[in-house]
Structure 1
Amino acid sequence: MPTTASPSSSSSGSASASEQPAPARVGRPWRRGDPQLGAQVLWYSYPGETDASVRANALRLVNYMVGKHMNAISVTFPFVTAGPAASRVGASARTPSVRHLGMLMDTAVAAGLRVTLRPLLDERSLVARDPLAWRGSLVPVDRAVWFRSYEAFLSPYLAVAASHHASTFVLGAELTSLEDDPRWRSVVATARKSFSGELSYDANWDDYVSRHVPVPVDHLGIDAYFPLPRLGDDASVAEIAEGWQRWLDRKSTGKLPRIVLSEVGIIAEDGAYRHPAVWTGGGKLNATVQQRWFEAACRVARDQDMAGLYWWNLDFHTAPAGGTPAGSRTSFLGRPAEAVITSCFRTWPR
């Protein structure tokens, strides 16, 4: 996840109807063995969020995704901790309720979308104690307590994933400093008692290429923000794709049919290729930089027969048809990159 990606400040209100219409249907609903072609939906709950507003937002969002030839949705929601050394985690006022998460999942399933549920540690709960901290640098005073707390936190979300037909549950994302802990075996074993679907883990890009990620899950995802510091803003799609491939080859060469690109995104600014994980560059607006990055990511994922690709991100509360939110450099909505998504997924071999 980008180091400064934060929830939108847009209002949670949406028009509601007395009877919710059915969502649009994917032309070819996802089937086992199909690539996962979707987006990460980032959901920070707002005060006063109601069943009606959640249903309306879910319908609007799912219809947009179907229109972009997506067949999958990954729902990212936050949890918090008191600081880098804290030994407990939990939900916050911004964490959507399991009831509301179920409503979004039901809407997505009714449209034929494959559903993933994905908790992500909110870094704002860390930087108040240490400005340089991030979710990959946790050093809990008592690791045993941390893992017991994490298992307890995950429990209701695993249950809602099971009851609302999610295909995958992501047990963790970018928790680099904790990945070597043998207690992950307990997390996985406990999760399997309530969730029979696929269990996955999303590694940060540098962690993925530098070592074996030992979390014992079914599949691995990559939050893919590979820096290409030698490329200028006029770099071609082929040059960007070659740069991505060099990074991936550090891990292994050849096809990657068990790997999902769980986050792909970049800010629409000059200089972004040098630090794609940083979304506060302050450079000049450059939508072409973002467009070519998306084109290159699509090319690499297809060439390597990857299991899927998820764009970062769609805010649950933003109306996609409204285009880029005012002042945003991070969104792909209404920019050339949005057309890349449509073309990429429409022509992807199934």
Structure 2
Amino acid sequence: MPIRAFLLFLMVLSGCTRTSPPVYQGTKIRGVNTVAPSEPIDSAAFAPIRNINAEWVAVIPYGFCREGEPRFYFNMEQQWWGESLKGTAETIKLAHQNGLKVMLKPHAWVGRGTYTGDLDFKSEAEWQAFEKDFGAYILANAHLADSMKVELFCIATEMDNFVRKRASFWRSIIKQTRQIYHGDLTYADNWNHYHRNPFWADLDYIGVDAYFPLSSEKHPSVDALQQGWKTHLEGLEELASTLQKPVLFTELGYRSVDFATTKPWESYQESPQNHELQADAYRAFFREVWDKQWLVGMFAWKWFLHRPRRFHGDRDSYSPQDKPAEQVLKLEFGKADLDIKPK
């Protein structure tokens, strides 16, 4: 169902009428999604983040499963240091010591790189077994978030099929999380599924991983990229208005390659390097989107606290580090007048 038709259906079902979008009155979130380091880090890892005028970091403790196997694993010895509960806690501690606010944002990794949104099981018993493990993962991180006074907890990321088929699980786990964690809650939904999420009313922010297609050109102009945002913004604003919830871009990122704004979610497609397009894509976002009053802010994807020994230059080309895009973020994050205040 198209986004607009779905929203009209939602409004009729709930008895809502079209209202103005909510006005977020806080300081806009200027953040980066950090990659969990493979080995212990120290305070120096956060200096470059402060240098680009960011004020938030997303800390991401991955858990793992195999496609078709109803088990979920986390906090294992085989994982990277920063993915363990101990490493996650230390990363949060260091971020806070450096004056940064934290969103704790659990991610699932499905074996062989399968998209998490396609995760599925054949029987009720399999779903229940998986939910037991996955629920323990969410609640363990909720306990950590509360004990570390984390400012924002994102309960999970891009579990499209799971959300659609098992809404009762999500409502239950959100309720349990509220009993443990006393800060704001969101969920990171994918750009093409956020409008169908059944539990936004239970959360504080509509979280969207904003990999919206903007242009099919090899290197579109900033003006063309701004134009590409307009249709997407209509849908976001309508949902924010309908639910009276502000929107947070839990992820926003572009690879530094040709055609990076055609399908920004594609991470493995080989393309020639193009650092300037990545920078232009961020420029277009700040010019066209940032001042929307319903937008809480954004977390750029992605930032390495510690470069792994085997750094995948193509796959990891989302990082703006040491590229023109880093300077765009530094400039825009540093503008004191970017926060839109209610009239």
What TM-score does the superposition give when structure 1 sets the normalisation length?
0.78
CA contact (8 A) 2:34 2:302 kept: yes
- Unpaired segments of 5 or more residues in structure 1? 1-31, 128-132
CA contact (8 A) 1:287 1:335 kept: yes
The residue that corresponds to 1:99 in the other structure is: 86
Matched residue type, 1:164? M
TM-aligned CA deviation for residue 255 of structure 1: 7.6
Aligned to 1:178, which of 162, 165, 174?
A: 162
CA distance in 1 between partners of 2:52 and 2:98 (Å): 13
TM-aligned CA deviation for residue 126 of structure 1: 4.9
Aligned to 1:139, which of 110, 120, 145?
A: 120
TM-aligned CA deviation for residue 206 of structure 1: 0.7
The residue that corresponds to 1:312 in the other structure is: 301
1:212-291 → structure 2 map (5 Å cutoff): 212-215=197-200, 216-230=202-216, 232-253=217-238, 258-291=246-279
Aligned-CA RMSD value = 2.4
Matched residue type, 1:162? D
Local SS of the residue matching 2:226: helix
CA contact (8 A) 1:266 1:279 kept: no
CA contact (8 A) 2:61 2:88 kept: no
Local SS of the residue matching 1:289: helix
CA contact (8 A) 1:167 1:197 kept: yes
CA contact (8 A) 1:264 1:297 kept: no
TM-aligned CA deviation for residue 251 of structure 1: 4.2
CA distance in 1 between partners of 2:157 and 2:317 (Å): 24
CA distance in 1 between partners of 2:102 and 2:272 (Å): 36
Q: 1:254 to 1:303 in 2, by over 3 A?
A: farther
- CA displacement 1:22-45 (0-9 Å, x = unmatched): xxxxxxxxxx9211101000115x
CA distance in 2 between partners of 1:293 and 1:213 (Å): 31
Matched residue type, 1:318? R
Aligned to 1:192, which of 170, 178, 181?
A: 178
The residue that corresponds to 1:88 in the other structure is: 71
TM-aligned CA deviation for residue 342 of structure 1: 0.4
Aligned to 1:154, which of 113, 128, 138?
A: 138
CA contact (8 A) 2:301 2:318 kept: no
- CA displacement 1:240-276 (0-9 Å, x = unmatched): 1221221231343598871111111111111222111
Equivalences, count: 297
| Deviation beyond 4 Å, 4+ runs, structure 1 | 253-257, 324-328
CA contact (8 A) 1:79 1:90 kept: yes
Identity of aligned residues (%): 21
Local SS of the residue matching 2:79: coil
CA distance in 1 between partners of 2:106 and 2:262 (Å): 28
CA distance in 1 between partners of 2:328 and 2:335 (Å): 11
Q: 1:143 to 1:218 in 2, by over 3 A?
A: farther
Matched residue type, 2:71? R
CA distance in 1 between partners of 2:59 and 2:169 (Å): 25
Aligned to 2:187, which of 201, 204, 207?
A: 201
TM-aligned CA deviation for residue 294 of structure 1: 0.9
TM-aligned CA deviation for residue 78 of structure 1: 1.0
- Unpaired segments of 5 or more residues in structure 2? 1-24
When structure 1 is superposed on structure 2, of 335-344 and 211-220 the one drifting more is: 211-220
The residue that corresponds to 1:14 in the other structure is: none
CA contact (8 A) 2:163 2:197 kept: no
Q: 1:88 to 1:338 in 2, by over 3 A?
A: same
Q: 1:300 to 1:261 in 2, by over 3 A?
A: farther
CA distance in 2 between partners of 1:120 and 1:136 (Å): 11
1:27-66 → structure 2 map (5 Å cutoff): 33-43=26-36, 46=38, 49=39, 53-54=40-41, 56=42, 59-66=43-50
CA contact (8 A) 1:254 1:304 kept: no
The residue that corresponds to 1:115 in the other structure is: 102
Which one has a larger percent helix, Structure 1 or Structure 2?
Answer: 2
